[in-house]
Every structure is written in C-alpha cells, then in structure tokens.
Amino acid sequence: MSKRDELEEFKLIAQAITPAINCIKNTLENHKIDSLLSLTMSADGYLSMNIHEIKDIQLARSSNNDVLRVEKYESYEVQ
C-alpha cells in the first residue's frame, strides 16, 4: 500500500471511530474523570482499557470469542 493509500485509509478509519471517541469523552466528563483513559484493541477482539486514576482495575478481552471482563489486580512490592 502506498503512503497516499495509507493516509486515505487512516482518515477513513478516524472518521468512522470519531462517534465512539466522542461517546467515551462524554462518559468521562459525566463521571468526572480527569485522568487519561488508555484503550488498546485489535480487529481480532483483543481489548485492554484502563483509567489512570483508577489503579489496578482494567477492562479486558483476549479475543472475539471471549467476554469483556473487569479485572482487579493486587500488587505487592518485592523487597
């Protein structure tokens, strides 16, 4: 794929996901979340989402065949 084709494809993807981005932004505002939200996902269903001010909790899915799960972690300092 040429650089021009990559740019056009990227622009189409950005346009298609803009409503979802705006929905996430509005949800953060409604819940008075001031920190960053990180979202990583792939077309095969993998998803990882965390809100930086809410420690040790994430939303996760490993594939399209899996369910979305809220996962809470405990961490311990190694001395």
Q: Give the pLDDT confidence of 6-19 residue by residue, as tens digits.
A: 999 999 999 999 99
Which domain range does residue 64 map to? Answer: 36-74
Domain identity same for 43 and 69: yes
- Whether the per-residue pLDDT at 1 is higher than 80: the answer is no
Answer yes or no: pTM beyond 0.85. no
pLDDT of residue 79: 86
Domain identity same for 46 and 28: no
Contacts of 70 (CB under 8 A, 6+ apart): 57, 58, 59
**pLDDT tens-digit readout, 17-55:** 999 999 999 999 999 999 999 999 999 999 999 999 999
* Residue 79, in any domain of the structure: no
